[in-house]
Amino acid sequence: MVIKLSFGRFTNSKMGLALLTMLAAGSSASVANAKGPSPVDKELLAQAIFYESGDGLKTTDTRLHFSGRDFSMNQARYQARVERVLGDDAPIEYRYQNHHLAFTPTTLSWSAPSVGRWSSLIKAGVHPVTGRLVDGSGELDGKVDAQSAGKGVIYQDAYGAGLDLGVLTENTVMRKIAKFNRLEGLGPIPAEAEFLELSFELDVGDDVYFKARFGGEKSQVWNRKGSVLSEGEAIEFGSGQHRSFIKQAFAWDSAGNRIPLSLELSEKDGQLTLKKRIPVNWLKSATYPIFADAAASYGTASVFESADSVFLSATALRCSSSDLI
């Protein structure tokens, strides 16, 4: 379905405002009683539902399609490419406007930052697992969503038996998720271990910057030397006037316990690495399976930051183009 209208016309229309209000509130409030989200929120919600095409606006569809070698998605405001076989050549790629961010899994290890650079390797690299489309997002994040079939790829046993890796392509966010089905799958935990670290090599253009507080009072651009730690914040990255964000990372278990994670960016011999840290004490007390994500999103740091992302479609909402103008 092609919808030729402007965001202003959509967000200022009676039906459009009602739709966006219900999405923002997560309820079926009536049009008459709906106060509606702010103009900025309405714009962001409209961006989630529609993307710009050469012949107008089209409804977002983040289902991945197999093209012979990889899975790809290009019917949203960002694009995603996911290799069919997990390997060493950037299998998970996010692209928005003139910049991209590609993740290649490298190591799974125990670490103890408080005693220096001590670490104990669990797994170097990943198994060359063939990915498949998910039947629903619950296969990767534990949350049932009937609209999410085909909107993700799972690599089962990527790090070993019961240690999965995958990606979900949501309307405004690409989520890279690790799913560990049982603690024993990680092997013995060294007494010194403070964190479980998942490391990924990053492939970005030379002109892409990374910006966050990194422990300081004000945001700063990382000079790509040494390492920096991000805690409780999104990391902005981009090129020119276009920007995206590595959203604040989280881990959660099957009982609903959710904790924020720290992310470390580092550089060595010209290679950039992103490390995601999961506290060992939390791993020991969690209800399995557990999940941990790192997500890339465009726009502003607050895009859907206060709530879980959702899969939206005009079809599921039973809207027609005449309803939205």
pLDDT > 60? residue 33: no
> Domain of 104?
71-298
**Residue 12 falls inside a structural domain:** yes
At 43 the pLDDT is: 60
Asked whether residue 90 falls in the same domain as residue 175, the answer is yes
**Residue 30 falls inside a structural domain:** yes
266/43: higher pLDDT: 266
Kindly report, residue by residue over 208-222, the tens digit of the pLDDT.
999 999 999 999 999
Kindly report, residue by residue over 248-306, the tens digit of the pLDDT.
999 999 999 999 999 999 999 999 999 999 999 999 999 999 999 999 998 654 444 44
Asked whether residue 293 falls in the same domain as residue 159, the answer is yes
- Hunting for tokens 């990372």 — which residue is that? 249
* Average pLDDT along the chain: 82
* Structural contact between residues 94 and 102, judged by C-beta atoms closer than 8 angstroms: yes
22-59 core/surface letters (b: 16 or more CB in 10 A; e: else)? bbbeeeeeeeeebebbeeebbbbbbbbbbbeeeeebbb
Asked whether residue 172 falls in the same domain as residue 238, the answer is yes
Report which of 73, 90, 95, 71 is spatially closest to residue 82, judged by C-alpha positions: 71
**Residue 118 falls inside a structural domain:** yes
Asked whether residue 259 falls in the same domain as residue 149, the answer is yes
Considering 33, 59, 85, which residue would you say is the last residue of a domain? 59
pLDDT > 50? residue 29: no
